[in-house]
Amino acid sequence: MGYSATELKRRRHARSQLMTEINMAPFIDIMLVLVVILMVAAPVLKFGMEVNVPEAALDPIENTQDPLVVNIDAQGVVHFGDTPIAQDVILTRLTAMAVENDQIQIFLRAEKSLAYERVMEVVDMIKQSGFTKVALITDPSDG
C-alpha cells in the first residue's frame, strides 16, 4: 500500500505550488466595514459640535470657500470648530487669521438660550480682528 517514488514526487510538487488566485473575501469585508464607519461618522463631521441654534426663515448662504465655524455653547465658551478657545486668546487668534486672509467667511453658531450680549461680544471680536464676512447660522423654520 505504499507509494512509488514518482507518486510521492508528484504529490510533493502539487503541494508546493503557489496559489495564484487572490482571495477577495477579506478585502470586501474590510471595505464594507469602512463604508459603515464612514456612514455613521459623516453626519458628525459637518460642524463638529452640537449647538441648539434658533430658527429663521432666511435663504441659505452660498459659499465658494471653506468658512471658519465659530461655535458658542450654552455656557458661553467659544469654540473654533471643536476646539474650545480661552476668552483672552480669541481676539489674538482671529487677528492672526485675518492677517493671512481677511476674506474668509465666518459662520457663527450660538446656543439659542445664550444671552444676546455674549453673542454680540463675539461678533464684536470678529469685527475687531479684521474679518468683514460674518454669518449667523440658524435652523430653517417650518413655516
Domains of the chain, residue spans: 5-41, 55-140
In this prediction, residue 86 has a pLDDT band, given cuts at 50, 70 and 90, of confident
DSSP SS3 for 106: strand
Tally of helices (H runs) and strands (E runs) in the chain = 4, 7
The partner residues of 80 in beta bridges, in order of sequence, read: 70, 83
The partner residues of 83 in beta bridges, in order of sequence, read: 80
Q: Which of 10-14, 34-38, 65-69, 85-89 has the lowest mean pLDDT?
A: 10-14
User: Distance between alpha carbon 137 and the CA centroid of its chain, in Å?
Assistant: 17
Q: Which fold has domain 55-140?
A: Nucleotidyltransferase; domain 5 (3.30.420)
- Contact indicator for 123, 133 with CB cutoff of 8 Å: no
- Contact indicator for 79, 70 with CB cutoff of 8 Å: yes
In this prediction, residue 35 has a pLDDT band, given cuts at 50, 70 and 90, of very high
